[in-house]
Amino acid sequence: MKVPTTGRVVIIDDSHEEALPLIHLLSHHGISSRYYNGDPDLLPLQPLEGVRIVFLDIEIGTYGQDNKSKVSKILGVLNRVIGASSTPFIIIAWTKHTELLEEVISKLPVPPLKTLNMEKIDCKDQEGNYRIDLISAKLTDIMQDIGSFQALLLWEEIIHQAANLTINDSYQLSNPQGNEWDENMQNILYNLAKAQQGTQLKEHVLGPALRAFTGIYFDYIEKSLLNNSLLEDNAGLNFKNKNRLSPEVMSSINSKLLFSKVESREVTPGNVYINDRTKLDLSLLVTKFEEIKAEWDTPQFIILEVTPTCDYAQDKWQLSRMLPGVFVPLKYLKNVKRADYVFISQLIQFNRDIGSLVFDLRYLTTRNFEDVAKMLPLFRIRHPFLVDIQSKVAGHIARPGYFAL
């Protein structure tokens, strides 16, 4: 297993002399780490996010004390160091006392994915020096049954490298050898934001400018995914005879892939709102609706902003183009008519229920900006998904038809 190089390694040891050789070894291999000796005044002000590997001395200033004191001390340190979003992570504990480690793990609010109980001597050569190959070998041994963890670490490495290359590209574009680098960079950022937002660009420039970097960023990610040798053998994972995902898992993943959270009332293509006006006639959309409407007594009607993004960016729209729809729970999806005017999304989660968004393309309508601006978006459909829906709307409008005998 490859140890991550992105500063996601933590070393907790009350003896700086014991920890320093490990810190030096990791640094020599380009692996940054964070060291804490357990002193409360030196622990992070906020728990760290994204920790992946913790080298842990189970006795931190508690040598000779009872087990209760040892467990209490190490729990206090770990809770200060490891944040809630650090999952998944693993712990390599320097100790002979398995029972202590098990008690600590059982009481952690954020438990590790895996723990390895070992002695420091197991990771040292005959001269007493730490060896990265021995550490990697030990990690590989415990990772045999959770190989997906290695895949997630590989993904983190790829996006870290892509971000670094994106910054390097941007730096080179700004004539770094000149005396006006900062002014040149600000000019580039402004023009990127203007290209991103068009006439919609107001005083908030930096957000749109940084979003414009994502094209370069994604390009480097794609190159890394195509050229990474570890991917050729699936990083040792076995993908044969895998099961289909449950509706619960599938809908949760789709919701993250297709939707993004909205933190403002800005009228933007892709916004989804509660529909308080143009509600669909479900008897025309759902077969046997009269039989199920008593059970499905509160359909959740929605409406989607489908105005073309270019109209938004160039400030050319006169009205918001809106597409009414309804969230159909999973149990009723089989009753939805399959027709060229019906768009059915993949399974998603909506208000803690599993189902699909269903749009009737025949109900395309408009609303003025003032009315839409008063509405609070539920969420926003991501651009690729929005474009797919817009293409279905355009195809429905432009279907030619013909006359013949």
Same domain assignment for residues 215 and 267: no
Residue with tokens 């842990």: 56
In a domain, 1, yes or no: no
Per-residue pLDDT tens listing for the chain (405 residues): 566 666 689 999 998 888 888 888 888 888 889 999 999 999 999 999 889 999 998 888 777 788 888 889 999 999 999 988 888 999 988 877 788 888 999 999 888 998 888 777 777 777 777 777 777 777 777 667 777 888 888 888 888 889 998 888 888 887 766 678 888 888 888 888 888 777 777 778 888 888 888 888 889 888 888 887 767 777 677 777 788 899 999 999 999 999 998 777 788 899 999 998 767 889 999 999 988 988 998 899 999 999 887 777 666 778 889 999 999 999 999 999 999 999 999 999 998 899 999 999 999 999 988 888 889 999 999 999 999 999 999 998 887 777 777
In a domain, 102, yes or no: yes
Same domain assignment for residues 133 and 172: no
Same domain assignment for residues 16 and 109: yes
Residue 134 makes CB contacts below 8 A (sequence gap 6+) with 122, 123, 124, 125
Same domain assignment for residues 215 and 141: no
CATH of the domain at 129: 3.40.50.2300
Q: What is the pLDDT of residue 392?
A: 93
Domain encompassing residue 344: 247-398
Same domain assignment for residues 83 and 22: yes
Same domain assignment for residues 346 and 266: yes
What pTM did the predictor assign? 0.76
In a domain, 4, yes or no: no
Q: What is the pLDDT of residue 202?
A: 75
Q: Final residue of a domain: which of 236, 270, 300?
A: 236
In a domain, 404, yes or no: no
Which DSSP helix (H) or strand (E) runs through 254?
helix 247-258
Q: What is the pLDDT of residue 404?
A: 76
Split into its structural domains, the chain has a count of 3
149-179: b or e for each residue (b if 16 or more CB lie within 10 Å)?
A: bbeebbeebbeebbeebbeeeeeeebeeeee
Q: What is the pLDDT of residue 306?
A: 93
Classified as helix, coil or strand, 342 is strand
Same domain assignment for residues 259 and 230: no
Q: What is the pLDDT of residue 148?
A: 84
In a domain, 405, yes or no: no
Q: Final residue of a domain: which of 146, 161, 196?
A: 146
Q: Final residue of a domain: which of 146, 164, 179?
A: 146
